[in-house]
């Protein structure tokens, strides 16, 4: 069916140039950086087998706990590598220069990682969560046989050439998020020629919950070029929204698009103005909105409401990135989900928004 896009996602990799942090270098000259191709859908600690032998002889004696940072920001190991890259490199940097540490784990910022087992269970818990969102229970994941579990994890861990193995095991989980509007429409139109009438909307999903994880990063200054985008130096600058998207197809034949999906998660950015517009909001609209305020509300909420309106009206979505691409928002959401989701059945989206700074007194 639509394997081509999935294959691209599955085989996607990011060239990394990994530097050992200078405080952990005990040899002269210091070891040159390691060049590694990291799978998009993989996780950074899974690279330890490749990195450790490379730097092992330069390390001081002691116990190793591997962690990575990018420009001073400790990287969350439980976030897929491709998502980290999409989020933290507005302008893709190739190779991506990361720093590796084997000491001084930042326990206050990062969840401890006990090697592959931690990553595997983080993945399985995420898969369970997705299953619950889709089916209302996680029985299929809980009841997975030991050998299927091993095979599934192995396919995620060593992604190369393992898409078939992944599909074989994951299809047993019966996690059908949404049927692809495109594919089914083609099929059903050929059937409906036979005049049954029933199949006309066979592909239209009425309602459904889709597992989505959204990373929203806000900037206050506008920029034209992604190269000028400010660095993210602290996780507090990112809002992580882990909330399912409820798909509603009200009108027959009307497609639920990526824009509709983002709108349900971030309604603040979808006032009446068109998305990606540079036009400043019209004055009369603003006045109308202010006069329609609830007259009974107290002063404080009124001020808050005005600020809210101001920020909302001037906020703008700068960038939507999924699996390294910036899809058009008119694309059917079903296509996006079915083709660009991660192996844990979550769709990870990175969104950059511009929010003008508000000077509060």
Tokens 């210091």 — which residue? Answer: 30
Nearest in space to 79 (alpha carbons), one of 49, 52, 46: 46
Q: Does 36 bind another protein (CB under 8 A)?
A: no
Nearest in space to 100 (alpha carbons), one of 127, 61, 74, 138: 74
Q: Provide the minimum distance between the beta carbon of 63 and another protein in the complex, in angstroms, as a whole number.
A: 15
Q: Provide the minimum distance between the beta carbon of 173 and another protein in the complex, in angstroms, as a whole number.
A: 15
Q: Which of 2, 121, 150, 293 binds another protein (CB under 8 A)?
A: 121
Total number of residues that touch another protein (CB under 8 A) = 38
Q: Does 305 bind another protein (CB under 8 A)?
A: yes
Cα(361)–Cα(352) distance, rounded to whole angstroms? 27
Q: Does 318 bind another protein (CB under 8 A)?
A: no
Pattern of binders to another protein over 229-248, x per CB under 8 A? Answer: ------xx--xxxxxx----
Burial class of residue 287 (count of CB atoms within 10 Å of its CB; 0-12, 13-18, 19+): exposed
Q: Which of 40, 101, 128, 318 binds another protein (CB under 8 A)?
A: 128
Both tokens assigned to 150: 């091993």
Cα(89)–Cα(87) distance, rounded to whole angstroms? 6
Q: Looking only at residues 250 through 269 of this chain, which bind another protein when binding is defined by CB under 8 A? A: 268
Q: Does 124 bind another protein (CB under 8 A)?
A: yes
Q: Looking only at residues 76 through 115 of this chain, which bind another protein when binding is defined by CB under 8 A? A: 76, 107-112
Cα(149)–Cα(154) distance, rounded to whole angstroms? 8
Cα(81)–Cα(70) distance, rounded to whole angstroms? 12
Q: Which of 133, 232, 262, 352 binds another protein (CB under 8 A)?
A: 133
Q: Does 132 bind another protein (CB under 8 A)?
A: yes
- The vertex-230 CA angle with 225 and 235, nearest 5°, equals 135
CB of 243 or CB of 254, closer to another protein: 243
* 208 φ/ψ angles, rounded to the nearest 5 degrees: -175, 155
Q: Does 7 bind another protein (CB under 8 A)?
A: no
* 271 φ/ψ angles, rounded to the nearest 5 degrees: -80, -160
Cα(167)–Cα(10) distance, rounded to whole angstroms? 11
Cα(148)–Cα(40) distance, rounded to whole angstroms? 23
Q: Provide the minimum distance between the beta carbon of 227 and another protein in the complex, in angstroms, as a whole number.
A: 24
Cα(170)–Cα(163) distance, rounded to whole angstroms? 10
Q: Looking only at residues 340 through 359 of this chain, which bind another protein when binding is defined by CB under 8 A? A: 355
The one segment of 152-160, 284-292, 300-308, 318-326 that binds another protein by CB under 8 A: 300-308
The one segment of 51-59, 129-137, 152-160, 285-293 that binds another protein by CB under 8 A: 129-137
Element containing residue 85 per DSSP (H, E): helix 81-88
Nearest in space to 331 (alpha carbons), one of 5, 3, 1: 5
Q: Which of 25, 312, 319, 327 binds another protein (CB under 8 A)?
A: 312
CB of 16 or CB of 156, closer to another protein: 156
CA distances in angstroms from 228 to 86, 90, 349, listed in the order given: 16, 9, 21
Q: Does 294 bind another protein (CB under 8 A)?
A: no
Q: Does 293 bind another protein (CB under 8 A)?
A: no
CB of 22 or CB of 117, closer to another protein: 117
CB of 51 or CB of 66, closer to another protein: 66
Q: Does 11 bind another protein (CB under 8 A)?
A: no
Both tokens assigned to 47: 């690279």
Chain residues that interact with another protein, rule: CB under 8 A: 76, 107-112, 117, 121, 124-125, 128-129, 132-133, 136-138, 142, 211, 216, 218, 235-236, 239-244, 268, 304-305, 307-308, 311-312, 355
């Amino acid at each position: 069916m639509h394997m081509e896009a999935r294959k691209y996602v599955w085989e996607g990799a990011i060239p990394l140039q990994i530097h050992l942090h200078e405080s952990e270098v005990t040899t002269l000259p210091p070891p040159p950086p390691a060049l590694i191709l990291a799978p998009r859908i993989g996780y950074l600690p899974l690279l330890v087998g490749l990195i450790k032998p490379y730097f092992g002889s330069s390390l001081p004696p002691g116990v190793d706990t591997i962690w990575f940072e990018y420009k001073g920001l400790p990287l969350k190991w439980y976030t897929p590598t491709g998502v980290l890259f999409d989020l933290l490199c507005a302008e893709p940097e190739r190779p991506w220069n990361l720093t590796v540490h084997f000491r001084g784990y930042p326990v206050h910022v990062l969840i401890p990682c006990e090697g592959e087992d931690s990553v595997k269970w983080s993945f399985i818990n995420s898969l369970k969560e997705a299953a619950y969102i889709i089916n209302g229970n996680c029985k299929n994941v809980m009841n997975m046989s030991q050998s299927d579990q091993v095979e599934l994890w192995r396919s995620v861990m060593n992604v190369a050439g393992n898409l078939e193995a992944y599909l074989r095991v994951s299809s047993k989980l019966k996690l059908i998020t949404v049927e692809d509007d495109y594919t089914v429409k083609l099929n059903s139109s050929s059937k409906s020629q036979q005049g049954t009438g029933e199949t006309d909307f066979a592909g239209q999903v009425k309602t459904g919950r889709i597992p989505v994880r959204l990373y929203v990063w806000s900037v206050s200054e506008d920029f034209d070029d992604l190269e000028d985008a400010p660095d993210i130096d602290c996780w507090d600058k990112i809002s992580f929204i882990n909330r399912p998207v409820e798909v509603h197809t009200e009108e027959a034949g009307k497609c639920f698009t990526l824009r509709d999906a983002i709108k349900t998660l971030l309604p603040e950015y979808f006032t009446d103005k068109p998305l990606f517009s540079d036009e400043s909001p019209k004055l009369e609209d603003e006045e109308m909105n202010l006069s329609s305020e609830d007259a009974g509300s107290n002063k404080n909420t009124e001020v808050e409401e005005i600020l809210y309106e101001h920020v909302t009206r001037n906020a703008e979505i700068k960038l939507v990135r999924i699996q390294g691409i910036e899809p058009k928002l008119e694309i059917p959401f079903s296509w996006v989900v079915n083709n660009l989701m991660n192996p844990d059945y979550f769709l990870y989206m990175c969104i950059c928004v511009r929010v003008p700074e508000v000077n509060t007194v």
